[in-house]
Amino acid sequence: MARTKVFDQEAVLNKAMNLFWEKGYNGTSAQDLVDELGISRSSLYDTYGDKFQLFKRALTKYREDFSAAMINMIDTSDDVEKTVKEIFTHVITTSLQQKFSKGCFMVNSSVELAPHHLEVAEMVNANMQDIEDALFRLIKKGQEAGKFSKNHTPRSLARYVFNTISGLRVASKSGADKKVLDDVVRVTLSTLK
């Protein structure tokens, strides 16, 4: 008779996501997972598969929790300028509030694994495309309302803003202070005007 799992799989997946986010895939050992998740190695593998399968599930969870929230905020915006500023404020605030910046799990995964793992590259690129598409809709709406400049296409501006968001995460992970991040945001916002 099979044993019943006596742990909260969602809570364990959250812990795994945070561990991979903090330490990266290669920096996280199987023992780290066992220690952090508080489950046996056999339960870990029986429930989530191998380390790579667990990593992919954690990356999917990040997308569902964090990327989806940003996209929802963009798609429900009734003030395009305020929404863009709120996105940047959130990125800076969350980056600086952490004891040490973890950056963005998607960006980290893009740098660490995407060049070597097609599945991770596809996940990262799909996430990037979803956010870029949402930013495109927001910027296009802003251009149509006369809030944003039409000097560039909404697609190119969406790519620029997305790249800036990713860059802010990398810069904060590398130790950039608030003044540096604020300067980047100020210049980026000026390109939208």
Average pLDDT, the chain: 92
7: pLDDT confidence band, cut at 50, 70 and 90? confident
Q: Give the domain extent around 137.
A: 59-192
CATH number of the domain where residue 88 is located: 1.10.357.10
CA dist., res. 108 & res. 43, Å (int): 27
Residue 4 within any structural domain of the chain: no
pTM of this prediction? 0.90
Q: How many domains does the chain have?
A: 1
In this structure, are residues 185 and 92 in contact, taking their beta carbons and an 8 Å threshold?
Answer: yes
- Any domain includes 71: yes
CA distance 158 to 38: 41
pLDDT, tens digit, 9 for 90 and up, residues 155-179: 999 999 999 999 999 998 888 999 9
What is the tens place of the pLDDT at every residue in 122-147?
999 999 999 999 999 999 999 999 99
Question: Is 110 within a domain?
Answer: yes
User: Would you say residue 90 lies in a domain?
Assistant: yes
Task: Answer whether residue 151 is part of any domain.
Answer: yes
Cα distance between residue 93 and residue 126, in whole Å: 26
Distance CA 43, CA 89 (A): 40
Q: Establish if 131 belongs to a structural domain.
A: yes
Q: In the predicted model, what is the mean pLDDT of residues 43-49?
A: 88
What span, in angstroms and rounded, lies between the C-alpha atoms of 23 and 28?
A: 6
> Does residue 27 fall inside a structural domain?
no
The confidence band for 1, taking pLDDT boundaries of 50, 70 and 90, is very low
